[in-house]
Structure 1
């Protein structure tokens, strides 16, 4: 019995030694699957970097209304990519900002001039006139077309003594007609769910406008023609470049006369562009072509007194070129 007990104790001791050795061997093997799955996920997180984007920014202050030069822009990689940002400086060079931008500011599309203003050439202005189906060639005029503008003047017994119709402006570019425009932008307030039949029926009833590109010194004629008569657009082929010869017609006198040149100064050139536009045009000269004014000058060498009937005319002004008008304590000399 004693020998059996000793044998069992020896077996238990050997079994304990074997289990201890097996446990030691397991501890020296690879980590558990759960630990293996966590380790690869943690490693990339330490090495991963935040993404960056190329964005055009101002390398120096940009002034509103001035063209952006190439040396005023640079590309930097930023952690954000703003909506409307540029990725290359070539896309923004030559554009015009609508607001002052500081150095380091990202350049966005919404901060630059856009729309019809970019389609107006130097020396031109975009002017809107009233349009309807008859005036707009049965609503067949489209943005980008070239038209001739005719004016029809009806006698009113005042400025217009005889009814007339004549060509006012030749070969003018249409920038917009109604809601359509050459900039390709969709019409504002367009309702895609509205029935097309109803919108087409109302199109002729809604007042419309035509936007023309005209030179700045032609705006006076256009505004006088629209206010004193009726305008009519004549659609023409874009390849037809014929225009009236201005040398065949006398130049219309301006409402404001330029100041005379001082002694010794060279003779001044005729008014052009903005100077001619500022000089203006009277309705009488616009209607008569300046002919009535010439006839009045030839028939009456002594000028009529303007303003106060008590105005006196100096002897040097009896040639009909100057009039001195006295209103109370004020004295004013007017040239004709």
Structure 2
């Protein structure tokens, strides 16, 4: 009996020792497969945005900085040298401190920048002339959202009637600038404000027609406000009816007619009948 117990204990010890060796070798193999970490404490330098970078920004040294990342947390397509990003264009907005990766840049062959890189797929950029009133004295800036109003003459009862209507809503302003054109008969140059808007093809047609046939105005709006604006438009009579006093009563209320009395005599009996508000012919 003692001998059997000794054999069982010996076998158990050998199995435990074998299991320990196998676990040790497995852990050793896993450690060997782990990637080696570079730099102090396993860190590598990654290029990130030094400031908020809008879509279409041409990168320069002032836009980037290098920060340490753990080697295993470096995003795919990251850059380790800021000089390699010089002249590249951003394809999306990049926040401060976010890594600049290949997926967030335009192709390296893209040399031209400007407004064309800001246009969303399927949209168009259309420019219209304006003035300080139309641009709200400079408050309309790139990135703002505006509604577009147009005032045109429409035919009503055989005559031209001025009519104002909101024709486009929640339109993004891509760029603002100034051009010079000849003003007056003396040949002097006068500044003309130019506003470039991002529109769908159908909206582009509306804006081109409105700018050609009427007078445009912008209404600056809150960017968080939703769409779905509907207005009937206004003409001169609608404006003149504004804040009008209520009309007075045209005539006094009719006075009630007096009651009529009829005396009814039947034989030796007499009876007086009264009819309220009755008319006796």
Taking structure 2 as the reference length, the TM-score comes to: 0.40
Taking structure 1 as the reference length, the TM-score comes to: 0.34
Which structure's residues are more often strand, by fraction?
A: 2
Which structure's residues are more often helix, by fraction?
A: 1
